[in-house]
Structure 1
Amino acid sequence: MQTLASAQAFQARRSSFDSLELDDGEYPIGQAQLDRLLGAIYDGLNESPPWQGALEMLRETLNAAHVTLMLRPPSQESTGVMINTGVVDDSATESYEQRFFAVDPFVGLPPGEVVSADELMGKDQWRKSTMYQEYLKPLDIGYLLGADITTKDGIECRLRVTRAQDQQGFSENDKMICRVLLPHMERAIRLHARLDTLECERQLYSGAVNRLLLGIAYFNHEGSIVHLNDEAQRILADRDGVSRSGKGLAASSRSENQELQRLITESISGSVTETGPGLAEAMSVTRPSGRSQIGIVVRSIPFGEFSESKHRPAAVVYLRDPDTSPAQPSQEVVRRVFGLTRMEANLAILLAEGNTLDEAAEKLNVRRNTARTHLRSIFGKTGVTRQTMLVRMLLNSVVSLA
């Protein structure tokens, strides 16, 4: 573990690093190599796993055996998320995640500090440590460099660099390279966290919309579809009334198609001039199969205050197929939400699906009077007095999202 003296020394160096301003000639690597490393760090936001290229480039720059970023360090509750470069032993990674993380000396370093294990513990003490003797030495790792990255949002990540037994230890220049890159890694990690949050929200909203059986098609400023959700893909794949045509949509009826194209074109144009909520237009399209008409709403998506890309969505088309039956809500969810018994929940679900009380009783294999008794109990628990009110309450509740 860190001694008080070493911690104070690290903090003193950290204070000087905070105010460090390097002249061009003082950078530890050339401008071209630094530019490539910084570019790889920010390009790494779009990689999977993130920063794999940047970490590999850093490994080559430092002539290291491995460079590892612990995006979510292992703990007693979780194995964490580690991004490794170099020749990786999966069993060794598993050993660290399950056991050796607990004896890792590089824990609680001052943010931005870069230090070797020899500096942290003293060379002799480090070589006698459990971490070195039982974990690193069998892997032919002789030297270890560590740094912690803590963002303003409280995200904690760890950077680790290793060299083999027969290599030289890490120099001050090696550590300075890491120090120069750490602030950029911290910024990139904050951006990654923000993008991850947005993607999580997108998936949640997308899942909810799909369960509500609402088709969504996004158009860019050139009138091309840039995204279709699952329900929109299903409706268009039927080619019954409306379908994909080239990069856009087309209705089967000529007159309806002209109207649809007009609405989409005007909505795209409106996205440039409108600053408030997007204006909406609506229509329906006839289906050659004779099934119910598909309802369509077209809405512009105005530019944001600082929007600049014409590749962003400019208009959205909502599609609703009234003949599609929603997924049957879970009996257990209905039971828990409304405090019903299992029999009552099953009856409520059947009524919400459009069955009469007699039809529901037959499907439940009970007498009509028994079903009526259960219905009265449901009324008492839910506070409604009519079957139509019960159906409306079920359809408007959260059970359809479960």
Structure 2
Amino acid sequence: MPICKDRTVSVAGIGQGKTHTPAFAAANAKVQVNDLATAVAAPAQNTYGSLAVLKRPVTPSAGAGGAVLSELIGLVYEGLNEATPWAGLAERLRHVLAASNVTVTLHHFNDRPYDIQVMSVAQDDDTDWQLAERVYRERFSHIELVNPKSLMPGDTIVFGPRDVEPECAARMEFINLASCLRTCFAEPGGMRCWVDVIRGRTVPEHPFSAGDLELIRALLPHLSRALELYARLKRQEAEKLIYEGCLDHQVLGCLLLDGDARLLCANQAARTIIDKHQGIELSHGRVQLQDRAGQRALDKAIANAIAAREPDGGHYHGKLVRLHAQDGVLLGMLAMPAPLFDYYQGRHVPSVIIHLSELTENLAMQQVSGGSPAELIAQLLDLTRQEARLAELLACGQSISEAAGQMGIAVTAARNYSKNIYAKLGIKGQTDLVRILFKSFALLR
């Protein structure tokens, strides 16, 4: 709630106006809903700066109906996917509890005038809640009662103008705050949130009932679980953005497809290569090649990669598809199955990774410090010059016989070289060799 946001720990009105530690305040100022029966039965007290408000008589209630509680629990979990988290819950809770304002505070700042909040306000409420919060921070930050951080996760409290010092009480009455029900919930990672339910002045008075408090307490475990899920989702979103940023700094293009061979995402390197060369494009969510034979080969490689993710799909390490762009550059597309996820299945799961590279430029044209690609490959992978030359040609998609002809050696000699390459690198075949060289392109620039 905007008016109740500060972390100071002094408490006015307890022990003849002395300032006490949080431990003293917790021991002397809090009457929690855990003692609901005592709170309902106890006589009224008006000592401001304490939570004695709960000792005032509370209107008995039959409790929250099962249908209402089920609806609110559903909104707790649906709130994870809302553009503004828990906006639907705040709105519905305001109607259920006949409140003028329901605020979910997602983060409390100590050094800023406003918090991160989701608020549902009645249509006839013209209160400037941001101004109210700023006034509170400037003038009433010494009152621990309305300090959100004084409330521990799982606790629920009720307070109003009769429970604070006169100047703060006058401010509450000015903004039509007759009573506030607050609860706190947290997740293991340290994220801590609050829900404030505010009721304005009515005739006759409409205090929070035992049933209202029971409803909030019934929601608390679900709020805590939902917050833990929310924190995990946000952490994964942050990691995803970081990893995508890393991909955009790579030379190697990466395309991620789902189980229907539709594009999920492409890094900046892939988009740059595709924009640079005629003959390949991303159209209608798919990788499209102008060369029909190349398109058939790519579609088959993608289908095999998708099939390899099935339980009986066997071992499939990928297939290199070559495409001669119209500008003469040889492009390589290595289609591989994406890793399997035990508990995440379906057609829209990331299923195929396509590594895209300009083979001609990377393996034949680019040089570092005057060295040839074969020399660089030899240094990088600890191969002889002949082995490195053969690895270069095989990575361009040539067969053993084609590479042997270009190198001017016998096919049997080329096969022996290839066996040496595979043994040195600990791989099984040409596809694995292509994968290793694709990953090394950044070092060959």
Cα distance in 2 for residues equivalent to 1:78 and 1:286: 60
- Displacement, 1:214? 3.8
**Which secondary structure does the structure 1 equivalent of 2:178 belong to?**
strand
Cα distance in 1 for residues equivalent to 2:62 and 2:96: 14
Larger Rg: 2
- 1:227 is aligned to 265
- Displacement, 1:53? 0.8
Aligned equivalent of 1:13, options 18, 32, 35: 35
| Contact 2:257 2:350 (C-alpha < 8 Å) held by counterparts | yes
- Displacement, 1:154? 2.5
Aligned equivalent of 2:208, options 161, 170, 173: 170
- Displacement, 1:263? 0.9
Structure 2-normalised TM-score? 0.62
- Higher relative contact order structure (alpha carbons within 8 Å, sequence separation ≥ 6): 2
Cα distance in 1 for residues equivalent to 2:255 and 2:320: 14
User: What is the correspondence of 1:89-168 to structure 2 with a 5 Å cutoff?
Assistant: 89=128, 91-92=130-131, 95=134, 99=138, 103=143, 104-118=146-160, 124-126=162-164, 128=166, 130=168, 132-134=169-171, 136-166=172-202, 168=206
User: What is the correspondence of 1:203-242 to structure 2 with a 5 Å cutoff?
Assistant: 203-237=241-275, 240-242=278-280
**Which secondary structure does the structure 2 equivalent of 1:141 belong to?**
coil
Q: Evaluate the alpha carbon distance shift between residue 92 and residue 285 of structure 1 in structure 2; reply closer, same or farther with a 3 A threshold.
A: same
Amino acid aligned to 1:91: Q
- Displacement, 1:323? 9.4
| Contact 1:79 1:98 (C-alpha < 8 Å) held by counterparts | no
Are 2:352 and 1:315 aligned?
A: yes
Are 2:238 and 1:200 aligned?
A: yes
Amino acid aligned to 2:77: Y
Q: Count residues with an aligned counterpart.
A: 318
- Displacement, 1:300? 0.5
- 1:41 is aligned to 76
- Displacement, 1:310? 2.7
Q: 98-107 vs 31-40, which deviates more?
A: 98-107
- 1:65 is aligned to 100
* CA deviations over 1:132-152 (Å, ceiling 9, x no partner): 434x33322221111111223
Q: 63-72 vs 215-224, which deviates more?
A: 215-224
Cα distance in 1 for residues equivalent to 2:238 and 2:314: 26
* CA deviations over 1:130-187 (Å, ceiling 9, x no partner): 3x434x3332222111111122332211111111123522122111111111111111
- Displacement, 1:237? 4.7
Cα distance in 1 for residues equivalent to 2:32 and 2:353: 55
Amino acid aligned to 2:344: S
RMSD of aligned residue pairs (Cα, Å): 3.7
| Contact 1:72 1:157 (C-alpha < 8 Å) held by counterparts | yes
* CA deviations over 1:95-139 (Å, ceiling 9, x no partner): 169646664344322322221115xxxx63426253x434x3332
Cα distance in 2 for residues equivalent to 1:111 and 1:125: 22
| Contact 1:241 1:294 (C-alpha < 8 Å) held by counterparts | no
- 2:3 is aligned to none
- 1:299 is aligned to 336
| Contact 2:255 2:266 (C-alpha < 8 Å) held by counterparts | yes
| Contact 1:244 1:250 (C-alpha < 8 Å) held by counterparts | yes
| Contact 2:101 2:198 (C-alpha < 8 Å) held by counterparts | yes
Cα distance in 2 for residues equivalent to 1:209 and 1:260: 22
Q: Evaluate the alpha carbon distance shift between residue 197 and residue 101 of structure 1 in structure 2; reply closer, same or farther with a 3 A threshold.
A: farther
Q: Evaluate the alpha carbon distance shift between residue 49 and residue 244 of structure 1 in structure 2; reply closer, same or farther with a 3 A threshold.
A: same
Q: 105-114 vs 201-210, which deviates more?
A: 105-114
Q: 231-240 vs 67-76, which deviates more?
A: 231-240
Cα distance in 2 for residues equivalent to 1:53 and 1:144: 20
Aligned equivalent of 1:260, options 295, 298, 323: 298
Are 2:46 and 1:4 aligned?
A: no
- Displacement, 1:67? 0.8
In structure 2, the gaps of 5 or more residues are 1-10, 12-24, 39-60, 371-441
- Displacement, 1:257? 1.6
Amino acid aligned to 1:309: G
- 1:329 is aligned to none
**Which secondary structure does the structure 2 equivalent of 1:74 belong to?**
coil
The structure richer in helix per residue is: 1
- Displacement, 1:38? 1.3
- Displacement, 1:93? 6.1
In structure 1, the gaps of 5 or more residues are 17-25, 326-351, 357-394
Are 2:85 and 1:50 aligned?
A: yes
Identity %: 22
| Contact 1:106 1:147 (C-alpha < 8 Å) held by counterparts | no
Cα distance in 2 for residues equivalent to 1:3 and 1:305: 46
Q: Evaluate the alpha carbon distance shift between residue 95 and residue 77 of structure 1 in structure 2; reply closer, same or farther with a 3 A threshold.
A: closer
